[in-house]
Amino acid sequence: MKIEFIDKAKNGVIGVVLFEGTEAKISKTYCIRQTSDFKAKANACQVAAIDGDKTIIFAGLGKEAEYSNEILKKAVGKFVACAGQYKAKELTIDCTAVDDVASVVEGTVLAGYSFLKYKPTDEKEKTTLEKLSLITSKPKNTSEKEAGHALLVANTVNYVRDLSNEPANVATPTFLAKAGQQVATTSKNIACTVLDKKKLEELGCNSLLSVAAGSTQPPAMVILDYKPAKYSKTIAFVGKGITFDSGGISLKPGKDMDQMKFDKNGACAVIGSVKAISELQLPIRVVGVFAATENLPSGSASKPGDVVKAYNGKTIEILNTDAEGRLVLADALAYTVANYKPDYVVDIATLTGACVVALGNSFSGLTTNNDKFAESVLEAGIQSGDRCWKLPLGTDFDDKIKSDVADIKNLGAPEGAGGALTAAAFLKHFVGNTPWVHLDVAGTAWTTSQRDYFVKGATGVGVRLFVKLCENLVKT
Residues that bind ligand BES (CB under 6 A): 245, 263, 320, 322-325, 350-354, 356, 411, 419, 442
Gyration radius of the chain over CA positions: 23
CB of 208 to Zn ion, least distance (A): 13
161 annotated active-site: no
- Nearest to 239, CA basis, from 345, 339, 155, 338: 345
SS3 string, 318-342, reads CCCCCCCHHHHHHHHHHHHHHHHCC
CB of 261 to Zn ion, least distance (A): 11
SS3 string, 25-64, reads HHHHHCCCCCCCCCCCCCCCEEEEEEECCEEEEEEECCCH
CB of 242 to Zn ion, least distance (A): 5
Catalytic-labelled residue, pool 89, 227, 252, 303: 252
326 annotated active-site: yes
Nearer to ligand BES among residue 94 and residue 294 (C-beta): 294
CB of 137 to ligand BES, least distance (A): 44
Nearer to ligand BES among residue 274 and residue 423 (C-beta): 423
Q: Where are the alpha helices (DSSP H) in 187-297?
A: 197-203, 206-212, 265-279
List C-alpha distances in Å: 411 to 206, 239, 289, 322, 350. Answer: 18, 20, 24, 10, 16
Query: What secondary structure does DSSP assign to 60-92, as a single string?
Result: E---GGG--HHHHHHHHHHHHHHHGGGT-SEEE
Q: What are the backbone angles phi and psi of residue 363, rounded to the nearest 5°? A: -130, 135
Q: How far apart are CA 162 and CA 16, in angstroms?
A: 29
Nearer to Zn ion among residue 350 and residue 376 (C-beta): 350
Residues that bind Zn ion (CB under 5 A): 242, 245, 263, 322, 324-325
Nearer to ligand BES among residue 23 and residue 322 (C-beta): 322
CB of 242 to ligand BES, least distance (A): 6
Nearer to Zn ion among residue 45 and residue 424 (C-beta): 424
Nearer to ligand BES among residue 245 and residue 452 (C-beta): 245
Which of ligand BES, Zn ion, none does residue 354 bind (CB under 5 to 8 Å by kind)? ligand BES
23, 162 contact by CB (below 8 A): no
Catalytic-labelled residue, pool 326, 400, 464, 468: 326
- Nearest to 217, CA basis, from 171, 164, 166, 180: 171
| Sheet with strand 307-309: strands edge to edge | 307-309, 315-317, 408-409
Which of ligand BES, Zn ion, none does residue 411 bind (CB under 5 to 8 Å by kind)? ligand BES
CB of 411 to ligand BES, least distance (A): 5
Active site residues: 252, 326
